[in-house]
């Protein structure tokens, strides 16, 4: 039987953000934008959705006079990502 995939992570951009954050301690908005190729507006919306689900933590600060948004994955986000990957593997193994 096929297991349900997390609809929040099934979005290509949200999956890319979580995949990136799993491998680093944290990443700033500009780095995530460059790695994913997303527009600023779309990335902001997707980061907000991930934060509301408690998959990532968002810290807003300033670097000099410029705003700095830094994201990091939460334990809940790591668990959701691992579950998602395992469910995908089960699709392949069938």
| Beta carbons of 13 and 43 less than 8 angstroms apart | yes
pTM for the whole structure: 0.91
Within-domain flag for 88:
yes
Confidence class of residue 90 from pLDDT cuts 50, 70 and 90? Answer: confident
Across the strands, what pairs with 69? Answer: 60
Residue 68 belongs to domain with CATH number? 1.10.10.10
pLDDT of res. 94: 62
Cβ-contact 56, 17 below 8 angstroms: yes
Domain-embedded: residue 46: yes
**Number of separate domains in the chain:** 1
For residue 28, is it within any domain? yes
Q: Does residue 87 contact residue 51 with C-beta atoms inside 8 Å?
A: no
Give the CA angle between residues 61, 27, 11 to the nearest 5°.
115
Chain segment 17-50, per-residue pLDDT in tens: 999 999 999 999 999 999 999 999 999 999 999 9
pLDDT at residue number 2: 74
> Could you list the residue range(s) of the whole structural domain that residue 57 is in?
12-93
> Which candidate, 8, 1, 6, 4, places its Cα nearest to that of 53?
8
* 76 assigned to some structural domain: yes
* Distance between CA atoms of residues 88 and 21, nearest Å: 19
Residue 6 lies in a domain: no
């Amino acid at each position: 039987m096929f297991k349900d995939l997390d609809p929040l992570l099934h979005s290509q951009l949200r999956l890319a953000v979580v995949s990136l954050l799993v491998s680093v301690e944290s990443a700033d908005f500009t780095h995530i934008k460059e790695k994913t190729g997303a527009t600023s507006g779309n990335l902001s919306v997707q980061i907000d959705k991930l934060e509301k689900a408690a998959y990532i933590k968002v810290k807003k600060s300033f670097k000099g006079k410029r705003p700095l948004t830094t994201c990091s994955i939460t334990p809940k986000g790591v668990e959701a990502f691992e579950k998602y990957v395992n469910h995908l593997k089960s699709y392949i193994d069938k």
